[in-house]
Structure 1
Amino acid sequence: MCAIAGIVASAPLAPDAQRRAADMRDVMTHRGPDGAGLRADSHAILAHRRLSIIDLAGGHQPLSNEDGSVWVSFNGEIYNHRDIRADLELRGHRYRTRSDTETIVHAYEEWGDECVHRFRGMFAFAIWDAPRRRLLLVRDRLGVKPLYWARAGDTLLFASEIKGILASGLIEPRANEAAVPELLAMRYTSGDATLFHGVRKLLPGHRLIFEDGRARVEQYWDLPLDGPDPDLERLNDDALVERFRALLQESVRLRLMSDVPLGAFLSGGIDSAVVTSLMAREMNRPVETFSVAFADRQFSELTYARQAARAVGAAAREVVIDDKDFFGALPRLVWHEDEPIAHPSSVPLHFVSALAREHVKVVLTGEGSDELLAGYGKYPRTLANWSAGGVYERLVPGGIRSAVAASVLPRVPGRLGRIARRSFLAVPRTPGDMYLDNFAGMPLRVQRALLQPSFTREADPYADSLRFFNRLNGHSSLLDRMLYTDMKTYLVELLMKQDQMSMSTSIESRVPFLDHVLVEFAARLPHRLKLNGLTTKRILRKAAAGLVPAAILTRRKMGFPVPFAGWVGGRWNGMAREVLLDRRTTERGVIDGAAVARLLDDHRAGRCAGGDAIWALLNLELWYRTFIDRDGVQTLPAAGPLDAAA
C-alpha cells in the first residue's frame, strides 16, 4: 500500500510542476514512509510514496515498461499477479522485478484499458502512455483503495488523498456546502462529490481517461443487477455454504501474499473471527491479532475477541483507550480523513492500527460482510416495516393514520415510544423515509432544527442514494435494492475510513470479504441464505460452524459502540459547547447557535439523545477549521471535572 499523485496537462507543464508534484506526494508520507519516487516529462508527472510489502528491493515506483514509453504509479495489491505474469512472459514481455506493479504496465501494453478485468485485488493506479500523451486512472471494483482528482484549467491533478491535491497549490480549498446535508444525514457523500468544491472521487469500478485536454469517466464493473441466480436457487443450502466457504478460504489465502509480517484485526464479532480462523489454517505460525476496546467495559468486546484468539492459538495483543485518548487524537484524525469523521469508530481503529504497526505491516480485516450478506439489523426492520406498512395503509384510512402519527405516538414514553416513532405507524412508506431517513445519523428534520435555513431549505440528502436504489429493475426485491445501495454508498465510506485510519500509522489493511469473485457469487445467492427472519448473514453463520466459538456464532451484532454520547453528556459537554458555540462557529453561517445550545443542554440533562448530532456538528466544525480556515490540526479544549454528571 502506498500513495500516488500526479499532474498531467495537454500543454507543456510549468517549470514549478515538479515541485508541486513532490509536495503532493510528500504530504502523504504516512502512506509510504519507505521511499519516494517521481517521474516527469513535458506533459506529465507521476509521483509515489512507498510502503514496501512485495519485492522489497526491486519494487520502486513509478515504474516503466521495457523501453520507458509507459509508466505506472500504483497503490494496492494484485493478488493474482504471478498467474498474469506467467501469461505475459509467454507473450514475450520481459520483467526486471518481482513486483505486481510491473505486471500492471505489461498488462496494459498487452490488453490496453481492458487489462483491469484480469486483476484480482485492491488497486488505484495511474498509467501515463507517453507516445499517446494519455493518462489512465483506475480504481478497484469495490473501492478498497481511494483515488481523487480535480481540474485546474487544462491540468488534471490526482492523488490518493484529497490533501495531496490541495498540496499542489493549484486548487483553492473551498467547502462544497451543497454536499453538507447528505454528509450529515448519511455519513457519506454518494456519487463522485466530496466536501471540497472541485475535488472528485473516482468511483469504485470506474476509470478515467485524460487526453487532448478532456477527461472521460467510464464504469468498467458493477455488481450483478438481476438478483438471485435461478441455478443457485435450485441447489441445496449445504452445497452453497460449501462453495461460499471455499471462496472465502481462497480469498484469505490470496491475501496472505506478502514479503513482510502480517496479522489480523480481531473484534468480538463473527466476521473478523472467521477471517482469523481461516488465516490460521493457511499459516505455519500463530496469527498475530490486534484488538481495541474502551476502558468502560460496557463498550468492550474483548471477552469475545479473546475467545476467538484462543480458539486458533493466536498471538493476541490489545490496546485499551479512554476518553482522553479519544479526544486527544480526534483533531489529527480529521486531518487524516480529509473530511469530517462520519463514524466515531474511526478513532479506536487508529489506535489498533498503531498497535499493529509495532509488530506487522499488513492486517486482514472483516470489513464488508454486513453489506454483502445483510448483516445489519436495519434490513429485517425495514422489511418488516414495509410489509406491515402496506397492510396498515390498506386497512386504516389516511386521516386516522395522520392522527396517530401526529397526536398519539409523540406521547408514548420510553423505548416503546422510540421504536413506534421509527415504525410504519409514523414513517411514510417510501424508500427515502423508511430506509434512508429512518436510519440516518442526522435526519433532515433534525438538520432543519439545528442548521441555518439556507442549508436545508432545498436540501434532499437522500436523492443520490435513491438513484442507486432505483437503478435496479422493477422486479428486484427490497432487500436487493438496499444491499446494492449500501454497497455503492455506505460501504465505500467504511472502506475509506479503514484505509485512512490504517494508513495514518503506515499499515496496509486487506479485506477478504470483498474479493470480487466472492462478491459476485454472494450477490446471486438466494435471499434465504442472507436473511432468514431475524437471522442475518445466515450463510456465514453456517460456514463458520467449527471455525469460531459457538458463543460468537450466536451473539447479537454489537458493531463497534463508542461512548461518545455519554462523554458529551458529561465532562466533555463543556468542550463541545466551547467549539460549537464559539463566535467563529456561529458566524460561519452553518448552524443555528441557539438551537445547538439547546441541544447541548437537553442532551446533558437527558431530555434527548443528541450524541449523533453533536458528533456530526463537532467534526464538521473541526474540518472547517483544519482545511477551509487553513488552521491545521486543532487542539480541543480540556474536559470538565471527573464527577460532571450526564
Structure 2
Amino acid sequence: MRLLAGHLSWHAAPAHAWVAHILSDATPHPPVPLLQTPHATIGSATYAGIHHLRDTQIYVAADARLDDVQTLWHTLRTSTDPAMPPSPAHLIARAYTRWGADLGRHVLGDYAIALWDARQHRLVLIRDAIGICPLFYTHTPGGVVVASTVRALLAHPQVAPRVNEEAVTRYLVRATTGGLDTFFEGIRAVPPAHALVLTSTGTTSHRYWQAEAQAPAPPSSDFSSDSACARGLRTVLQRAVNDRMAGLGTGVSASGGLDSSAVACLAHIAQSSAAPLPLFAATFPNLPPNLRRRSDERTYLNHLTRTGRFRTHQLPVDHLNPAAHLDDTVRELAAPPHICNLYLQRHIHRAARQAGCTVLLDGSEGDVAVSHGFGWLSELAAARHWTAFIDEVKALVHRIGGARGPDLFWAFGAPYLREHIALHKASGLQAAWLLHRALGVSRKALWMRCVMGGDSPSIAAALVRPERAALLPESPEPPLPRTEREAHAQSLRVADAATGAVLAEINHLAAADGMERRHPFYDRRVLEYCLALPPTQKLRHGWTRWVLRTAMAPDMPTAIRWRAGKSNLAPTFERNLLRDAAPRLDAAAAHPQLTDYLAPGALAAARAAGDATTCWRILGVAAWFDALPDLAAPYSASSSPLRQDVSPLVDASHSSSLPSTVS
C-alpha cells in the first residue's frame, strides 16, 4: 500500500500543505512531488503514483498494482507510443480517456485511484473490484478531501472527528456496515468495484463489476470434463500468481492448508530462480496436546519442506497475547480491527521483513473464491431432493473433522424446509422426520424453527443497550439462492465489501510493517472462472474444493491435497486473550464511553461464556475511545512544520509523466 492524498476545492485554491505533510510522513526520501491545479492538489507517496497526461487536463494519483498490463496497453497504445506504458498512473489516465469512469471494468489489479478531470471539473475516485487498496473521502466546506487512510483525513484541519455511534454499535454486535461507514461521521470508504464521480453539485456512484450467477463463462473456458476444469483453474490461478511475484523479495504466508499451499507451489514455479522459496507460518508447539492437534500445522508444513522447494520459517506464536499491540493497531487504523488474528499477521510481517522479503503472497479466503461448494447442498434442498441432500451431508461429516449433520442442515437446508412445509405441509413434515432420523436434527428445534417459525435471539439483544439496538436499521434478507451458482455469487456479493474491509486492513498494517500482501485467489479472473464452474467441481462426495485438489495434483504433496479439514486458531486465541488480557477486560468493564453502549453485565457474561470474539471487540472499542484524543489532533502548518525535503511541488500544467515502472 502506498499512501495517496488529495484536496479538492470547487471554488478556491486548495491547501496543498496538508497533502505534502501527509505524504512526507509516508515517504520522507526522496521529496514527494504533487500535482497542483487551480482547484486540486493530489499526490501519491511514490513517483510511480502520479501523472499528468500530456495535452489533456487529466491528473491522476494512484496506489496501483496492475495485472495483464501488456494486453491493456495493446488495446490503448497508438503507433507513436513506446512498447510499454511509462507508469501505472499513465496507463490509468489513458484508460480514462477511452472508457471514462467505467475504466475499472477493463483494468485488472489492486488499485485506489483519485483522478481530477479539469475539463469536466470533476473528481473521480475508483477502487479495485475486491477493495484490497483502501480509499476514503469526506466532504469539507467547499470541497472534498481524499486519502488512503482515515488517520490522514483526520489530520486535515477542516475535518471534524465526530463519533459514528451506529458504526460502533454495529461493530460490537458483529453486524456488517458493508465496509463503507467508518467510525467517524462523514468519513466514508469508496466501495469496492465502484467509481464515484464528485462535482460541485453532488456525487454519483456506479458499480463496474459484480459477481453474477447469470454472467457468461470466461472466454475459452472448457468445462466438458474433470481434467478440463482442473486445467482451466490451474492456468488462471498460475497467471494470477505470476502477476503478483516480486522477484527474490517474494515470500508466502503459509499455513499448510490447501489454499496457501497451492499459492506456494505455483509461486515456486513462477519464480525466476530455482532457490527454495521462503514460507512463513505460525506454529503452536507448546500448546497442550488437545489444543495442538486443532491448531498446529507443522505436520503439513513439513510435507512442503521435504519437497526441497521451500525454506520454511516456522514461527512459534502460542505465547503471544492477542491484545499486546492492540493500541498501536487501533491508532494505525483509526478504528478497532475487524479480525482477531492480526497479532499473528503482524508477527509474520516482521519475520518476513527480517528475512529480506518485501512481498507476501497470501492464500487466505481461497475457500470463498473457489467455494467449498456448500451451495450445492442449498440447490439440492431447494429442489426438495432431501435424500441426495442427506447423502452429501453424511459424506461431509465423514470427511471433515468436527462437522455435524444438524449444523450443516441448519446452515444450508433449513430455509428450504420451512418453504417446503409452508407450501406442502404433509410432504414437508415427512422430510422433517427423514432429516431427524438420518442426521439427528432435533425434533423440537425442527418444530419450533421450521414449523412455528421461531428463531434464536439476536446478539444485539443481549450485548448492547436496548436503545442502541433499536437504532440499528434492519438489513433486508437476500433472496434464497436456488442453485449452487446463485449461492456462490451471493456469498461473493455479501462478502465483498466486508472482505474488502478486512483485506484493506491487513494490507494497511502490512505496509506499516514494511510489507505488501498480495492475494492471488482474489484476482478477478480467478473469481469469474470459479463462479462459472459446475457445482460438482466444488463439492463432490464430501470433498470441498474438488477442482483445486485435482488441479494441484502434479505439484502439491498428496497429504495436503487430500487433507479433509483445516486448522482452527480459535482455541489459542480464546485461551490467550481471556487469560493474558484479563486486566484490560477488568478495566473495560468500567470504561465510561463503553458503558453507554453495553448492556449491564454483558462483558461479564461474555467472559463467563468464554466468548473471546465479543471480548476482543469490546477491547477494540475501548482502545479506540482511548485513542480519540490523539487521532483528533489536526495537522497545523504552524505547529508542525513540514520537513525540509518535501518542498518541491510539481505544477501539473507543465509536467508530463514521472519515471517509474509497472508492476
Tell me if TM exceeds 0.5.
yes
**1:365 aligned to 2:333?**
no
Query: Which protein, 1 or 2, shows the higher relative CO under an 8 Å CA cutoff with sep ≥ 6?
Result: 2
Q: CA deviation at 1:295?
A: 5.7
Q: CA deviation at 1:428?
A: 5.9
Amino acid at match of 1:617: I
Aligned match for 2:158, one of 162, 170, 187: 170
RMSD of the TM alignment (CA)? 3.8
**1:493 aligned to 2:501?**
yes
Aligned-partner SS, 1:609: coil
Q: CA 1:34/1:306 → structure 2, altered by over 3 Å: closer, same or farther?
A: farther
Aligned-partner SS, 1:173: coil
Mapping for residues 123-202 of structure 1, pairs under 5 Å: 123-186=111-174, 188-190=176-178, 192-202=180-190
Amino acid at match of 1:21: V
Percent identity between matched residues is 21
Q: What is the aligned partner in structure 2 of residue 335 from structure 1? A: 331
* Cα separation, 1, equivalents of 2:96 and 2:520: 26
**1:8 aligned to 2:4?**
no
**1:274 aligned to 2:275?**
no
* Cα separation, 2, equivalents of 1:378 and 1:389: 17
Q: CA 1:584/1:397 → structure 2, altered by over 3 Å: closer, same or farther?
A: farther
Q: What is the aligned partner in structure 1 of residue 281 from structure 2? A: 291
Q: CA 1:221/1:378 → structure 2, altered by over 3 Å: closer, same or farther?
A: closer
* Cα separation, 1, equivalents of 2:117 and 2:472: 42
Q: What is the aligned partner in structure 1 of residue 391 from structure 2? A: none
* Cα separation, 2, equivalents of 1:228 and 1:117: 15
Aligned match for 2:296, one of 297, 300, 308: 300
CA contact (8 A) 1:252 1:512 kept: yes
Amino acid at match of 1:25: L
Q: CA 1:96/1:120 → structure 2, altered by over 3 Å: closer, same or farther?
A: closer
Q: CA deviation at 1:577?
A: 1.3
Which runs of 5 or more residues in structure 1 are unaligned?
A: 51-58, 400-415, 439-443, 633-646
Aligned-partner SS, 1:317: strand
* Cα separation, 2, equivalents of 1:137 and 1:20: 19
Aligned-partner SS, 1:174: coil
Amino acid at match of 1:4: L
> Could you report, residue by residue, the CA deviation over 1:385-421 in whole angstroms, capped at 9, with x for unpaired residues?
445556677669999xxxxxxxxxxxxxxxx99x969
CA contact (8 A) 1:263 1:289 kept: yes
CA contact (8 A) 2:373 2:538 kept: no
Q: CA deviation at 1:44?
A: 0.5
Q: Compare 303-312 and 211-220 and name the one that shifted more.
A: 303-312
Q: CA deviation at 1:275?
A: 0.8
Amino acid at match of 1:165: L
Amino acid at match of 1:327: A
CA contact (8 A) 1:233 1:525 kept: no
Q: CA 1:252/1:200 → structure 2, altered by over 3 Å: closer, same or farther?
A: same
CA contact (8 A) 1:420 1:426 kept: no
Aligned match for 1:383, one of 412, 419, 422: 412
> Could you report, residue by residue, the CA deviation over 1:488-541 in whole angstroms, capped at 9, with x for unpaired residues?
244223312321231221211111112212211111111111233543212112
CA contact (8 A) 1:386 1:424 kept: no
Amino acid at match of 1:291: A
CA contact (8 A) 2:257 2:566 kept: yes
* Cα separation, 1, equivalents of 2:143 and 2:238: 44
* Cα separation, 2, equivalents of 1:629 and 1:454: 29
Q: CA 1:212/1:388 → structure 2, altered by over 3 Å: closer, same or farther?
A: closer
Q: What is the aligned partner in structure 2 of residue 635 from structure 1? A: none
Q: Compare 201-210 and 95-104 and name the one that shifted more.
A: 95-104
* Cα separation, 2, equivalents of 1:562 and 1:631: 36
Amino acid at match of 2:576: W
Q: Compare 279-288 and 297-306 and name the one that shifted more.
A: 297-306
CA contact (8 A) 2:211 2:489 kept: no
Aligned match for 2:597, one of 575, 583, 590: 590
* Cα separation, 2, equivalents of 1:159 and 1:308: 41
**1:78 aligned to 2:66?**
yes
Q: CA deviation at 1:11?
A: 0.8
Q: CA 1:567/1:96 → structure 2, altered by over 3 Å: closer, same or farther?
A: closer
Amino acid at match of 2:339: H
Q: CA 1:614/1:222 → structure 2, altered by over 3 Å: closer, same or farther?
A: same
CA contact (8 A) 2:12 2:38 kept: yes
CA contact (8 A) 2:173 2:459 kept: no
* Cα separation, 2, equivalents of 1:287 and 1:422: 54
CA contact (8 A) 2:250 2:359 kept: yes
* Cα separation, 2, equivalents of 1:378 and 1:346: 29
Q: CA 1:127/1:610 → structure 2, altered by over 3 Å: closer, same or farther?
A: same
Aligned-partner SS, 1:137: strand
Q: What is the aligned partner in structure 1 of residue 536 from structure 2? A: 528
**1:609 aligned to 2:610?**
yes
Q: TM-score, normalised by structure 1?
A: 0.80
Aligned match for 1:508, one of 513, 516, 519: 516
Mapping for residues 208-607 of structure 1, pairs under 5 Å: 208-226=196-214, 235-256=224-245, 258=246, 261-283=249-271, 284-285=273-274, 286-294=276-284, 296-297=286-287, 298=292, 299-311=295-307, 313-324=309-320, 326-358=322-354, 359-375=356-372, 381=408, 382-387=411-416, 427=449, 445-460=458-473, 462-463=475-476, 466=477, 469-470=478-479, 479-480=487-488, 482-532=490-540, 534-555=542-563, 556-558=565-567, 560-561=569-570, 563-578=572-587, 580-587=588-595, 589-600=596-607, 603=608
* Cα separation, 1, equivalents of 2:192 and 2:630: 30
Aligned-partner SS, 2:327: helix
Q: CA 1:133/1:489 → structure 2, altered by over 3 Å: closer, same or farther?
A: closer
Amino acid at match of 2:270: E
Q: CA deviation at 1:560?
A: 4.1
Aligned-partner SS, 2:3: strand
* Cα separation, 2, equivalents of 1:567 and 1:614: 12
Amino acid at match of 1:532: R
